Amino acid sequence: MKYDLIVIGGGPAGYLASERAAHARLSTLCIEKSNIGGVCLNEGCIPTKTLLYSAKLFDGAMHSEKYGVTAQGVSIDHTKVLARKNKVVKLLTSGIRSSLKSLGVTVATGEAVLVGHSDDAIRVRVDETEYEANDVLIATGSSAVVPPIDGLSGAIESGFACTNREILSLSEVPKRLVVIGGGVIGLEMASYFNSIGSEVTVVEMLDHIAGENDRELSAILQKNYERKGIRFLLNAKAQRVGDGEVLCSLGTEMLHIECDKVLLSIGRHANTAGIGLESVGVATERGAIITDSHMRTNVPHIYAAGDVNGKSMLAHTAYREAEVAVNNILGVSDEMHYDAVPAVIYTNPELASIGITEAMAESSGKPYRVVKLPMRYSGRYLAENEGGDGLFKLIVDAETQRVIGAHALCNYASEFIVSVAVMMEADMTLEQIKKVIFPHPTVCEIIREAIFQCDEQ
Ligand code: NAI
């Protein structure tokens, strides 16, 4: 059977591309080997946010005294939290299934393998069935990296260690949890399990948590969580996992950390193995598919979007890349920009960022200005965050008078960072931004304040 477009993978890049293509009247086949919605909906973005919201409510109730509210007998029931998480996931994935159906997308279940191409078609096989298409979009996503740490694969098999997938379905709350990797997944999960009562230790090999984020903000976030009881071991590397402990090196010292469960969150790699890339000649670099700004691979009519191209492993980047790919398939010129991709760690407080950091600006050698404001400048932040030590940083190109980076450590940051994305994508000058009216009182007024303070530097 021949289609206009075959999409391999039904995660954010795959399902969105299928929807957009079908909407533009391309006959579209979407092939998914597991669950429609991919990691994002089934074992990533959405389930974690469901858990973290319950934890936030619980934390709020537990610490309500400082707001004049006395709550008694407050507890959190992990089983009920999980049940609600499953309900939310089911609702969203069934919504996507029905949207694909109503748009006329054919959904096939199975593992797709590229088997070859001719002048006018690319061939894809699923089990015994072969399909053809004018264009193919590869959107097979990514998987957790499992490094060759002594004992780790056995520990994963036995259930002592787990990845982002299994941690979201743990029926029992571990008394002691060791998180290997203090990046996005590690911090979000450390936050949840800390809130619901686990003793959490984060083992991070760098001298800071939260990866590429602004160091000053990451350090404040770390202090917030240390106050809540999380132990951070920085410059520490896991060396062995098993027998109820994680052995990690800390300089010349070796530490035995006894625990009941280990979460491995040290990064993800593109899913490119076993999908037949060699048979059609699609080029990869460090395991990820090489794409240009139109999401084209080196092979005509084969595109790749989402985590599989390793550019920015975020669902919202995947959505946009999928749109760019479909537009180019339709002959509509469209290009991907990566300068204004927001990123959020949904801890409490949230850490949201976009563009470059102060350190990157400094090393670029170009003239720049930084405005650093305590979040207390925002009346609403002050009203809602007793004792809060959130911080906002704005980085501006001193020559072009454009915003080139923003970093916020505060609640609602995930919701308002998009306003900076709009400023950057629309290439607005500081003078143009000054004319934008921000609702008052809001936490995002901090951006307006920072824009005006740029002049005073
Ligand atoms: P990550 O790259 O964010 O963090 C991994 C951390 O592990 C790094 O800090 C690294 O230095 C550390 N590490 C590596 N090897 C280590 C070792 N042997 N011992 C100790 N530490 C070690 O990766 P993570 O958290 O697994 O997330 C994967 C991807 O999923 C990211 O690209 C992220 O963007 C995406 N994601 C995004 C979310 C969001 O947008 N809120 C939520 C969850 C995941």
Task: Report pLDDT digits (tens) over 318-331.
Answer: 999 999 999 999 99
Q: Which atom of ligand 1 is nearest to the CA of 186?
A: 25
Residue with CA nearest ligand 1 atom 14: 266
Q: Which atom of ligand 1 is nearest to the CA of 183?
A: 4
* pLDDT above 70 for 61: yes
440 is catalytic: yes
Residue with CA nearest ligand 1 atom 22: 181
Model pLDDT for residues 100-153, shown as the tens digit of each residue: 999 999 999 999 999 999 888 999 999 999 999 999 999 999 999 999 999 999
Looking at per-residue confidence, does 163 or 455 come out higher?
Answer: 163
Q: What is the mean pLDDT of residues 67-86?
A: 97
Mutate to test the pocket of ligand 1, among 206, 248, 268 (most ligand atoms within 8 A of CB): 268
Please report the pLDDT score of residue 187 as a whole number: 98
Q: Which atom of ligand 1 is nearest to the CA of 313?
A: 32
C-alpha torsion 101→142→257→75, nearest 10: -20
Task: Record the pTM.
Answer: 0.96
Mutate to test the pocket of ligand 1, among 164, 184, 188, 249 (most ligand atoms within 8 A of CB): 184
Ligand 1 centroid from CA 18, angstroms: 29
Ligand 1 centroid from CA 145, angstroms: 9
Residue with CA nearest ligand 1 atom 32: 313
Taking the alpha carbons of 156, 14, 6, 279 in that order, is the dihedral positive or negative? negative
* pLDDT above 90 for 370: yes
* pLDDT above 90 for 305: yes
**Token output for 185:** 């997944």
Using alpha carbons, list the distances in angstroms from residue 10 to 67, 97, 142: 45, 10, 12
Ligand 1 centroid from CA 40, angstroms: 15
The overall average pLDDT reported for the chain is 97
Q: Which residues line ligand 1 (CB under 6 A)?
A: 44, 147, 180-186, 188, 203-206, 211, 237-238, 265-268, 313-314, 344-346
Strands of the sheet containing 161-162, edge to edge, are 161-162, 261-264, 176-180, 199-203, 231-233
Q: What is the mean pLDDT of residues 311-321?
A: 97
Ligand 1 centroid from CA 268, angstroms: 7
Please report the pLDDT score of residue 457 as a whole number: 64
Question: Distance (Å, rounded) from C-alpha 225 to C-alpha 335?
Answer: 40
Q: Which atom of ligand 1 is nearest to the CA of 236?
A: 20
Mutate to test the pocket of ligand 1, among 180, 213, 266 (most ligand atoms within 8 A of CB): 266
Q: What is the mean pLDDT of residues 267-291?
A: 98
- Catalytic site residue from 23, 256, 337, 440: 440
Ligand 1 centroid from CA 228, angstroms: 22
Ligand 1 centroid from CA 437, angstroms: 37
Q: What is the mean pLDDT of residues 57-83?
A: 97
Q: Which atom of ligand 1 is nearest to the CA of 44?
A: 43
Ligand 1 centroid from CA 204, angstroms: 10
Q: What is the mean pLDDT of residues 263-276?
A: 98
Looking at the chain, the whole-number percentage of residues with pLDDT higher than 90 is 98
Please report the pLDDT score of residue 119 as a whole number: 80
* pLDDT above 80 for 456: no
Q: Which atom of ligand 1 is nearest to the CA of 307?
A: 32
Model pLDDT for residues 158-217, shown as the tens digit of each residue: 999 999 999 999 999 999 999 999 999 999 999 999 999 999 999 999 999 999 999 999
